[in-house]
């Protein structure tokens, strides 16, 4: 685990930042729960032996996070492309048994848990077969490729009494936990609106990844990759840029909205499907080899409040989540959370009164001042100052999220982001896509467990 002590330069920089946020802002540094919880020695009986299924970009990131947790051991890797079987071992830092057939992993008695980081159209099968084989499963987001998949995955978790954790890491972030604390305290008043966005403006951000030069039908198990998707000839672009195609992914909602929704659920404590969703969007620029939008803007109706989400691949701006209440505004950007109180001090009518005759207007102001005497000199104070909470610069909430999974595996306590939670955020993504492709409102039919227009 890397050292997270802040340098003087960092402090000055943040201090400077705080100054920029207005002299009144107090900055509080948060401590990673993984560090906060004094690491305890893990007895061998508590070791979690895991295998990685899918060692592409994400598979290797979560493998490293798992190896950074105490009391874990990697025993095998599985992937469909030779280059990533090598890459997986390089990331593990040792030679390991490898296979292209995940069933060989599930048959291993020395595997307690599997980390699943494969394209979305494979998530259901790997969670169903993993749970049925008695393994606990860390499944990357978005949990499901379709609404039906989601409910089948919830059933697999419950029927086999396995730990299933979905991989949207905001759920374990100390910054979102702090935001939840403020939300739950009532300091925000009535929250009626939430908005959030993640915008990018480059080829990698648009999933137009370079294709490895050795990619061909010998090095890639194309038939297995297709799985339940429509059969078609080998296409390296579809294998390495699968997010661009509806057959394998859920576009911007499944790739990015899911993180924004997980953060919003964590701040506000909700864990349910939306009632309705309306999407506007389009494919404006990244038009080659893609059947999903490069701009998606969705309005959601939740009983508690309304949510507006945007992902635009044609303009860059840092990810922001903003929760707006009658008493305060909470904003999270780059692991910094700022709570800014609304100025709720009483103030006299300042507009319509100027349509009154002067005599009546002056009477109104006299009465108002009598009912709202000014504080004595020196006793005048603003309601409350802005508060800024910051995670350490090198804070990695994927490690906190993975540590929570490993603890659930050991303690058999439900995971912080189980299949029920993962299903709710995924359904919201499916509703955004439904509204976009059907050009209609998407309404959730709870009784039928379906989306309808």
Ligand X SMILES: NC(=O)c1ccc[n+]([C@@H]2O[C@H](COP(=O)([O-])OP(=O)(O)OC[C@H]3O[C@@H](n4cnc5c(N)ncnc54)[C@H](O)[C@@H]3O)[C@@H](O)[C@H]2O)c1
How many other CB atoms are found less than 10 A from the CB of residue 100? 15
Distance CA 320, CA 309 (A): 10
Give me the 209-248 binding string for ligand X, x by CB under 6 A, dash otherwise.
---------------xx----------------x------
In 262-386, DSSP assigns E strands to 276-282, 295-301, 306-312, 317-325, 328-333, 336-341
Q: CB 63 → ligand X: shortest distance, Å?
A: 11
**CB-nearer residue toward ligand X: 13 or 103:** 103
> Residue 324: beta bridge partners?
193, 329
> Which tokens hold the place of 408?
């659930």
**CB-nearer residue toward ligand X: 58 or 306:** 58
Q: CB 372 → ligand X: shortest distance, Å?
A: 50
Q: CB 286 → ligand X: shortest distance, Å?
A: 17
Q: Which residues contact 284 (CB under 8 A, 6 or more apart)?
A: 294, 295, 314
**CB-nearer residue toward ligand X: 57 or 382:** 57
Q: CB 444 → ligand X: shortest distance, Å?
A: 23
Q: Which residues contact 307 (CB under 8 A, 6 or more apart)?
A: 193, 194, 195, 196, 261, 264, 274, 299, 300
Among 78, 163, 175, 244, binds ligand X (CB under 6 A): 78
Q: Any idea which residue has 């709710």 for tokens? A: 424
Q: CB 401 → ligand X: shortest distance, Å?
A: 8
How many other CB atoms are found less than 10 A from the CB of residue 380? 8
Q: CB 263 → ligand X: shortest distance, Å?
A: 12
Radius of gyration of the chain (CA): 25
Q: CB 249 → ligand X: shortest distance, Å?
A: 7
Give me the 24-63 binding string for ligand X, x by CB under 6 A, dash otherwise.
-----------------------------xx-xxxx----
Among 32, 71, 119, 281, binds ligand X (CB under 6 A): 119
In terms of Cβ atoms closer than 10 Å to its own Cβ (0-12, 13-18, 19+), residue 189 is middle
Q: Does 274 participate in binding ligand X (rule CB under 6 A)?
A: no
- How many DSSP H helices and E strands does the chain contain? 15, 17
Stretch that binds ligand X, among 65-73, 145-153, 167-175, 275-283 (CB under 6 A): 167-175
Residues near ligand X (CB under 6 A), total: 26
Distance CA 153, CA 127 (A): 6
Which residues, numbered 79-118, are part of the site for ligand X (CB under 6 A)? 79-81, 84, 102, 117-118
Among 112, 128, 136, 140, binds ligand X (CB under 6 A): 140
Helix (H) / strand (E) element for 390: namely strand 387-390
Q: CB 78 → ligand X: shortest distance, Å?
A: 5
Q: Does 149 participate in binding ligand X (rule CB under 6 A)?
A: no
Distance CA 30, CA 143 (A): 29
Q: CB 410 → ligand X: shortest distance, Å?
A: 22
Binding site for ligand X (CB under 6 A): 53-54, 56-59, 78-81, 84, 102, 117-120, 122, 140-141, 167-169, 224-225, 242, 255
């Amino acid at each position: 685990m890397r050292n997270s002590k802040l340098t003087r330069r960092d402090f000055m920089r943040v201090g400077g930042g705080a100054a920029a946020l207005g002299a009144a802002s107090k900055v509080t540094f948060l401590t990673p729960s993984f560090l906060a919880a004094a690491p305890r020695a893990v007895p061998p009986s508590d070791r979690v032996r895991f295998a990685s299924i899918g060692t592409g970009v994400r598979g290797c990131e979560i493998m490293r996070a798992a190896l950074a947790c105490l009391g874990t051991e990697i025993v095998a890797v599985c992937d469909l492309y030779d280059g990533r079987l090598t890459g997986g071992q390089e990331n593990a830092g040792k030679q390991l048994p490898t296979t292209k057939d995940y069933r060989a992993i599930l048959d291993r008695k020395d595997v307690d848990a599997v980390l699943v980081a494969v394209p979305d159209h494979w998530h259901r099968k790997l969670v169903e077969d993993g749970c049925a084989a008695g393994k606990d499963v860390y499944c990357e987001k978005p949990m499901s490729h379709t609404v039906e998949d989601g409910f089948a995955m919830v059933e697999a978790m419950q029927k086999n009494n396995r730990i299933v954790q979905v991989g949207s890491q905001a759920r374990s972030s100390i910054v979102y936990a702090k935001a939840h604390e403020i939300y739950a305290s009532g300091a925000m008043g009535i929250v009626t609106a939430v908005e959030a966005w993640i915008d990018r403006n480059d080829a990698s951000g648009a999933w137009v990844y370079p294709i490895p030069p050795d990619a061909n039908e010998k090095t890639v198990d194309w038939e297995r990759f297709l799985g339940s998707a429509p059969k078609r000839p080998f296409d390296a672009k579809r294998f390495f840029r699968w997010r661009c195609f509806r057959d394998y992914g859920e576009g911007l909602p499944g790739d990015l909205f899911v993180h924004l929704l997980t953060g919003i659920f964590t701040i506000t404590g909700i864990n349910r499907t939306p009632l309705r969703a309306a999407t506007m969007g389009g494919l404006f620029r990244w038009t080659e080899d893609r059947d999903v939008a490069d701009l998606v803007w969705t309005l959601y109706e939740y009983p508690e409040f309304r949510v507006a989400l945007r992902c635009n691949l044609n303009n860059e701006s840092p990810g922001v989540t903003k929760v707006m209440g009658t008493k305060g505004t909470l904003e999270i950007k780059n692991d910094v959370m700022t709570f800014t109180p609304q100025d709720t001090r009483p103030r006299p009518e300042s507009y319509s009164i100027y349509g009154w005759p002067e005599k009546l207007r002056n009477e109104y102001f006299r009465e108002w001042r009598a009912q709202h005497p000014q504080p004595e000199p020196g006793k005048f104070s603003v309601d409350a100052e802005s508060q800024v909470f910051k995670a350490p610069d090198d804070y990695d909430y994927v490690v906190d999220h993975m540590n929570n999974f490993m603890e659930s595996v050991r303690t058999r306590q439900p995971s912080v982001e189980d299949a029920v939670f993962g299903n709710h955020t995924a359904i919201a993504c499916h509703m955004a896509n439904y509204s976009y492709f059907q050009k209609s409102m998407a309404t959730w039919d709870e009784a039928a467990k379906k989306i309808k227009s």
